[in-house]
Structure 1
């Protein structure tokens, strides 16, 4: 849920911090006080379109920041955050957006700079904003199938998973078949190219690690003189008259004399004797190395030539001999595939037909589950509409496209069905797409009926209703108030309202006021206590003058609200 909202230098808001509780929070106040401006700020916070006009006059930038907490470990926000490399610690998400006076935006999620597109995509999992004429998700026909699937998620889960597995293989085979049916001339050119490349690599007869061994040998040949001198000097230092070995032998002779007098020198004698023989053995090894050294100027040229050949292949086909050989294996397989293209195409076409049959059966089963769910959803929506005094309204989940053996259709990642919500608000009128419902009041009630059902399934952290109760009164207003409260049971709800019935249902009531000081206008927010709620609801009932009667009416509304909420 949205726990805290901070707004600075935004429109007529100087600086504002709002703590928002669980359940239903209602924002009320005089027209023009800044209620909708707060919602505009939230809209921008989750990726809405920004403008320099939002920056308070005379300021360099507007700043908006919101703290969200996620109680559900499976909340879709976690998946989105992981997708964009954003860390979420202790279930907390901080969104921030700064808009400069030049209109430029800087967006951050948990301190990480992101694009507006990423902010919008992640923000859509946290907040759903509904205005009087703003259809959003429920009014977008392309998302109606997703909403139906969310409603029937338990029954649909296994069947949808099976369909998706078959569809994935179907797409893979279809893609391969499309590739092999490409332009023949292009395929022929490709075959000529990879055959030449394979011949070039095979002719080189590369050996893994060969370049490293050649570089080592090259290094030795280029430093031959230095190596020879070092070994020669080492040998003459050990072997020769008056050299190391002679002195070691003399030391051994002397210690043997001492050991002959006293046994305690036996250990020392053994150590010196071993050193002598080890030195003698080392001199022999150095001599052998000297004898084996042979300078071959032609060999250096051969190595240089071979390294050039290897480097040329590495520039073309990989960063190492191993990568070049791996590429060779790949194109060899491709040559085999292209050379036997006709056979492969035949096999793929056969496999595609088999998969298409499986896909049809999976899609048909999926469609059957959806049709049953659509009937249940229709019944539920009619119940909700009846409670909103729209009992003459007809709602229908219309299947525009569904699986058929006789009629060709397009398979999609979520099935073959294509649906749209249709509605008729007046008896005798034909059903029309939901998005074409004209009346603002009717549209608000339809949206609330849908939202009451879908809020349990969508997993949205917070929902904002911006004056969706405009144009209604009396018993309809009371019914709308109750529906908004029902939605708040499953999701945190913020609602701007001019209806006292809605305000009475609030778990927390925020009063938005506008004041002027020093020639500037600013907005303030006050959390109302019980007595202040009575006074504000009384104002909403009667206007400016609050009488004893309106106070009693306000108390009655609050009492009725508590009674409804307790049920």
Structure 2
């Protein structure tokens, strides 16, 4: 659940800190007071699109921070966070987002800098924001199949993953076949090009790490005089009369005499002896290096020429010799493939035939599962709509599937990434009227109720921490408004719900009631939030019923609504228990 929310310099909010509880929290207030601004801030906190326009006038940046508590150890958020190297301790996760007036966003999760896409991916497992805009998504039939898959994800997700794995192989093979079927002229040009490239690389006879070895050799040749002088001086310092080894030899001789008298000197003697022999070996090695040193200007020219040749190949085929050799192997395989094109097409076609049959079987299984869950969804939708006074409504999930097509070369099946099913919701809201696409016949109030029915169903088996309803009850009144209020409360039994509403029926069901207001001070407008007590709640619900004027009858009506809500809530809690 969302435990704490802090907002600073966001739109008309200068600084705001809110603590949330479980259950249903309702936000009410006059139009323009800033209710939706708070929801906009939450939307940005979980990865929504940002803009410099959100930064309060005269300020450098807007800041939003939210603390979430996870009730489940296996919450989807935990695994996602682990994938991005984010630690979650004691079930707490803190999201933070800053938006500068230049439009730049800085996002953090538990103090770790993340991208907006990461914030969006993790935030999507914490909060589900349901607005009037989302309701309009029901009018786009492309959202219907994902909604069905979301509902039956327990079984459908596994089958869909299996299908997608084969589909990727199928797409890869199909792409390769398409390249083979390009016109002969294009393939001929491609073959000429890569044969030239292959021959150029082969002619160079590159060896791994050759460039590094040449650079080292070049460095020695360029600094030949310094190297010779240093080695010669080193050798003269060790070898010869009255030189280093001569003096250490004398030291060793004297210590041998001392050790004959005092046994405690033996370790020192042994140490000096070891040093003497090591230095003697070093002197021999230096002498060998001196004997082998030879300045060869011709060799330096050869190295320069070879390095130039290697660098030209690097500019064409890769940044390292290893990259060039890998590219050579790749185009060698491509040359062989093009030269034996007919054979490869035949083999590839066999592979495609096998993949197509496997893909068809997976698609058929996926379609069967979807149709199974579509029936369950339909039954549940009817049950929920009945409670929302749409008991005469008939809802149906219709499949326009190609999964029954016969597989042959003449009529290939149009496989898609998500299977073979085209799903569309159909509805009839009046008895005797035929079923028609939901996108063409549903009114705004009906769409709100259908989406609310879906949310009620989904909230029972999804792990989303919080659900936000942003004025989804617009356009309804009377008993429908009461039914929507009860349905929103029912959702809050399974998930924390934050709801912006203009309906007194919804406000009366609140476990926590926030009143949003604007105030002007020193020429600036700012949003304030107040948590209402019982008396203040009665007064606010009265305002929502009748407007500005508060009569005794209005107050009585508000009290009755709250008492009715309390009775309904107690009944639902007992049913849950």
Whether the TM-score (by the shorter chain) exceeds 0.5 is: yes
Q: CA deviation at 1:485?
A: 1.0
Question: Quick one: which of 423, 434, 437 aligns to 1:433?
Answer: 437
Larger Rg: 1
189-198 or 464-473, larger mean C-alpha shift: 464-473
Partner residue of 1:545 out of 543, 551, 564: 551
2:505/2:561 contact within 8 Å kept: no
Deviation at 1:453, TM superposition (A): 1.0
Check 1:352–1:535 CA distance in 2 against 1; reply closer, same or farther (3 A cut): same
8 Å CA contact 1:107–1:119 kept in 2: the answer is no
Distance (whole Å) between structure 2 residues aligned to residue 528 and residue 55 of structure 1: 29
Q: Give 1:422's match in structure 2, choosing from 426, 435, 460.
A: 426
Q: Deviations over 1:239-284 (max 9, x none)?
A: 767777888888899999x799979899699999999988888777
Alignment partners' CA distance in 2, 1:66 and 1:255: 76
Report the counterpart of residue 563 of structure 2 in structure 1. Answer: 556
Return the alpha-carbon distance in structure 2 between the equivalents of residues 554 and 194 of structure 1.
80
Secondary structure of 2:460 counterpart: helix
Q: Which residue of 1 aligns with 2:492?
A: 488
Question: Once the 2 structures are TM-superposed, how far is the Cα of residue 80 of structure 1 from its aligned partner?
Answer: 6.6
Residue 475 in structure 1 maps to residue 479 in structure 2: yes
Q: Distance in 1 between matches of 2:464 and 2:391?
A: 29
TM-score by structure 1 length?
0.83
Residue range with higher mean Cα deviation, 85-94 or 20-29: 85-94
SS in structure 2 of the partner of residue 415 of structure 1: coil
State the match for 2:94 in structure 1.
93
Provide the TM-score with structure 2 as the length reference: 0.82
| Structure 1 residues 282 and 390, CA gap change in structure 2 (3 angstroms) | closer
Judge conservation of contact 2:211–2:310 (CA < 8 Å) in 1.
yes
The answer for the alignment partner of 2:466 in structure 1 is 462
1:344 CA drift (Å)? 0.8
Which residue is 1:565 aligned to?
572
C-alpha distance 137-62 of structure 1, shift in aligned 2 (>3 A): farther
- Report the number of matched residues: 562
Task: Identify which range, 552-561 or 378-387, moves more after superposition.
Answer: 552-561
Give the direction of change, closer, same or farther, for the CA distance of 1:300–1:430 in structure 2 (3 Å limit).
same
Change (3 A) 1:185 1:239: same
SS at 2:25's partner residue?
strand
**2:499 matches 1:500:** no
Give yes or no for contact 1:512–1:523 (8 Å, CA) kept in 2.
Answer: yes
Structure 2: 5+ residue runs without aligned partners? none
Q: Which residue of 2 aligns with 1:397?
A: 397
Single out whichever of 234-243 and 402-411 deviates more from structure 2: 234-243
Alpha carbons of structure 1 residues 206 and 384: separation in structure 2 relative to 1, 3 Å: same
**Displacement, 1:436?**
3.4
Tell me, yes or no, if the aligned pair for 1:539 and 1:545 is still in contact at 8 Å: no
Q: Identify the range of structure 1 (457-466 vs 120-129) with the bigger mean alpha-carbon deviation.
A: 120-129
Q: How does 1:133-152 map to 2 (within 5 A)?
A: 134-135=134-135, 138-152=138-152
Q: Which residue of 2 aligns with 1:63?
A: 62
CA contact 1:106–1:113 (8 Å) conserved in 2: no
Q: Which runs of 5+ in 1 are unaligned?
A: none
Using the TM superposition, give the Cα deviation of residue 424 of structure 1 relative to its aligned residue in structure 2, in angstroms: 1.6
Pairs within 5 Å for 1:255-294: 292-294=292-294
Partner of residue 378, structure 2: 378
Matching of residues 174-323 of structure 1 within 5 Å: 174-228=174-228, 292-323=292-323
Which of 443, 446, 451 is residue 442 of structure 1 equivalent to? Answer: 446
* Counterparts of 1:238 and 1:33, CA distance in 2: 90
Change (3 A) 1:13 1:545: farther
Q: CA deviation at 1:373?
A: 1.0
Judged with a 3 Å threshold, the aligned counterparts in structure 2 of structure 1 residues 479 and 564 are, in CA distance, closer, same or farther, namely farther
- Comparing 111-120 and 402-411, the one that deviates more: 111-120
- Deviation string 1:53-104 (CA, Å, 9 cap, x unpaired) is 7666x64467352414152455555677678x6846444132435474xx84
The answer (yes or no) to whether the contact 1:513–1:523 under 8 Å persists in 2 is: yes
